[in-house]
Amino acid sequence: MIYVVMLLSSKIPRCIYNMSTLDVEDAIGQLTLDEKVKLISGGDFWHTASIPEANIPAIRFSDGPNGVRGTRFFNGVSSAAFPCGTALGATWNTDLLMDAGRTMGEEAKAKGVHVILGPTVNMQRSPLGGRAFESFSEDPVLSGMSASSIIQGIQSTGVLATIKHFVCNDQEDERNALNVIVSQRALREIYLKPFQVAIKDAHPACVMTSYNKVNGQHASENKYLIEDILRGEWGWKGLIVSDWYGVYSTSESVNAGVDIEMPGPIGFRGELVNRAIVARTIHQHILDERVRGVLRLVNKATQSGVLENAPEHTRDLPETRAQLRKIAGESIVLLKNDDQILPFKRNRTIAVMGPNAKVARLSGGGSASLFPYYSITPLEGILAKVSISDVKYMPGVRGFDILPTMGSTTKSPSGEIGVLWRTYLKPHDAEDRKPIDEIHLQDANVFLADYNHPAIKDISTWYAELIGIFTPEESGEYEFGVIVYGTAKLYVDDIMVVDNETVQTQGEAFFGCGTVQETGRIFLECGRAYEIKVQFGNSSTCKLRSLTVTVPGGGLRVGFSKAIDDEEAILNAVEVAKCVDQVVLCVGLSGDIESEGFDRKDMKLPGNTNKFISAILHANSNTAVIVQSGSSVEMPWAKCAKSILQAWYGGNETGNAIADVLFGDVNPSGKLPISFPLRLQDNPAYLNYKAEGGRILYGEDIYIGYRYYEYTEREVLFPFGHGLCLSNMDVYVDEITGSLRTSVKLSHIKGPAGAEVELKAFKKLFIEPGMSETITFELDLKEATSFFDEITNSWVSEKGTYAILVGTSSIDDHFLRDTFEIKHSVWWKGL
């Protein structure tokens, strides 16, 4: 397997409508003022407004970046869970990502969705970014080209894509108020660049504005970004949609170019726009331009064939499963493999250990999360390939801050795996109350933003019970935890174990509305069935006042686990590790640690995970450490580990993909799309990440990620990119046609077939053992040699001598090098 990086020096009820194309200008002339205002205000949480009298249907949006959820957070229809954004970036395979986009489009159709709210192309400035897992890379070109492929795939199905978040939404800390202070050069070369690449190559139908301010002005009010750059310089003509609750004004957002505020209908538009028209703070022609954007979207969306208010259903197909497994496998990065201990042997004894072994880490948290068709844990993937008699399982230390969600190990009173949900109009101590609703749920992570029932339509306060039956396989002390947006108490056989009602503490869950996790412990006997019951009051009963946007209904998360003594767990695991031939150690982060709504506090693995890993490596050197995370983590034990795999969040097929790589059925061809620093303090954004007084200075300027590590010659744990050997490079420049052509001969000397990628104009090829390939890359000469000149406010390709470096990663002692000349400087704007 060989990897090439090119680095260039920088001198419901369904309404039946006639789905024919609207005459946009005629419609604008016929619509009343109230109808126009309705169109730019959003219809509900997921739909644009419909105007039946004008034959204008509602268009449905849906998250998201790693799969299409549909319209429901609560008890939604199951979906295909794709690997997270960083994993997709790690494939470096544009053809594969285009295929993934096509499948996302078909998934959207199954959910009655016209517009997918993705992909995400914000930059991974720091490993601490709560939503870093949604983004592709720390490099703007890789991000832009990855996004282009996914967008083209999505839109080839007729479904529309939304590239987001425009721009500099690279952290969660105070994201709604944060003022990002960034130089024009960094803004253009780093943060706007992936949008520019994708808009030039893929023409996404929608762009979503970010929550934050950019140089003093909220993105949704920033005419310079929206009108001057996006629509002016780049000539883009699609729809601008706000992030959900990301509009903070009426006239300013309309005049700046935001076509539609979401969600609707109540927000900063509606009647307020009418007042602004009267006051002439919004002029009629500006309102018409916003309406024009919405109507153009309606025309594009209806061509998908998706009907208005279409029912949601699943499409769990064998070909989708195979594709998800392929993507997940190609995303896995082999960070180390000393002594070639991988692939593991199927006929040798093996121990599977660690807090991530028996749980499928599908995704990070927040709006990217969804209810999957199914999930495969690493342990399940391994057991599918080897004899169960040869496998020993040890959970190891506590590898979580939030207790694992109740559901997979409990049953409802009727015997189904999961839990039972009952809704009531009266409080828990009312003697005559009866449930108005009963729902079977797969787990006890319940976000009620979109829960509705006819009986609670006009009721501000209502209640619920969550019930699960648990039969322990081991006697011992068990720990229970409750997080709530509302109020909750947890009982085990009528003994109160957790009280998250009497006293509540503000936490970060449920987009900042929920409490911290309150916990309690109780001894349970092996083999005895226990009823776990949670009494819940909806959001109106909450004693806290969130400073973030509040959502209706509330939320509840119930988790539990056998109490773990980490010291004892380590000793037990070490004894097992000593008596097997091979060890698979599954560790990492989760959607409770990497999530929308908050940033990570550090780069460390949770709890005593590092101590656990070191002990196992000392006990058995034939250990493969599997790390799952959406961004980089510290690995103080890395020098002691012979084999390390970075497996990201792998979607439905997480466990199968990991097992495929472990046993050599798939040659890991993933390459790091981000740098792994040795420690957090080495990251270029370390001193400029958290908000200070409502602002953040992008002080590293253009030196984000590998650019900084190269320039400062700072050591990293693992550099941006990986690979084997390469040879023979030729460069040809044609200034008349404006092309730069580079040819590299690649040789795969031994081992299983591998894959080849390169940056700037990267491709991925599979090369059989003993074979060679020559790849020719043709770049836009002007684009490839330009930087943004703040004095002239334009791009410039300066005359002079340029070097092309080709290597196996961003830090390579054996770069191939060639040079070429630019004889005349060229200044330019646009795409």
Place of tokens 């997080």: 483
Q: List Cβ neighbours of 226 (8 Å cut-off, separation of 6 or more).
A: 166, 209, 240, 256, 257, 258
Amino acid residing at 812: D
**Measured between alpha carbons, how far is 622 from 642 in angstroms, rounded to an integer?**
7
Strands of 213-214's sheet, edge to edge? 217-218, 213-214, 179-181, 695-697
Q: Which residues of 246-265 are buried (b: 16+ CB within 10 A; e: fewer)?
A: bbbbbbbbbbbbbbbbbbbe
Structure tokens at 808: 């196996």
**DSSP 3-state of 261:** coil
> Cis link prior to 343 (omega < 30° from 0)?
yes
**Cα–Cα separations (whole angstroms), residue 684 to 23, 712, 726:** 51, 10, 30
**DSSP 3-state of 624:** strand
**DSSP 3-state of 610:** helix
**DSSP 3-state of 742:** strand
**Measured between alpha carbons, how far is 806 from 809 in angstroms, rounded to an integer?**
9
Beta bridge partners of 28: none
243 is catalytic: yes
Q: List Cβ neighbours of 340 (8 Å cut-off, separation of 6 or more).
A: none
Q: List Cβ neighbours of 660 (8 Å cut-off, separation of 6 or more).
A: 325, 329, 381, 666
**Measured between alpha carbons, how far is 88 from 98 in angstroms, rounded to an integer?**
11
**Measured between alpha carbons, how far is 49 from 41 in angstroms, rounded to an integer?**
8
**Measured between alpha carbons, how far is 479 from 575 in angstroms, rounded to an integer?**
26
Amino acid residing at 286: I
Q: Which residues of 632-666 are buried (b: 16+ CB within 10 A; e: fewer)?
A: bbbbebbeebbbbbbbbbbbbbbbbbbbbbbbeeb
Q: Is 349 exposed, middle or buried (0-12, 13-18, 19+ CB in 10 A)?
A: middle
Beta bridge partners of 180: 214, 696
Structure tokens at 558: 């119930």
**Measured between alpha carbons, how far is 161 from 105 in angstroms, rounded to an integer?**
9
Among 692, 685, 508, 680, residue whose Cα is nearest residue 595? 508
Query: Using alpha carbons only, how large is the chain's radius of gyration in Å?
Result: 27
From the candidates 139, 243, 450, 701, give the one annotated as an active-site residue: 243
Helix ranges, 429-565 (H): 509-512
**Measured between alpha carbons, how far is 195 from 234 in angstroms, rounded to an integer?**
10
Q: Where is 198: in which H helix or E strand?
A: helix 193-202
**Measured between alpha carbons, how far is 109 from 302 in angstroms, rounded to an integer?**
12
**Measured between alpha carbons, how far is 84 from 653 in angstroms, rounded to an integer?**
12
**Measured between alpha carbons, how far is 805 from 8 in angstroms, rounded to an integer?**
7
**Taking a C-beta distance cutoff of 8 angstroms, is the pair 90, 137 a contact?**
no
**DSSP 3-state of 228:** helix
**Cα–Cα separations (whole angstroms), residue 207 to 201, 220, 227, 256, 658:** 15, 11, 12, 14, 35
Active site residues: 243
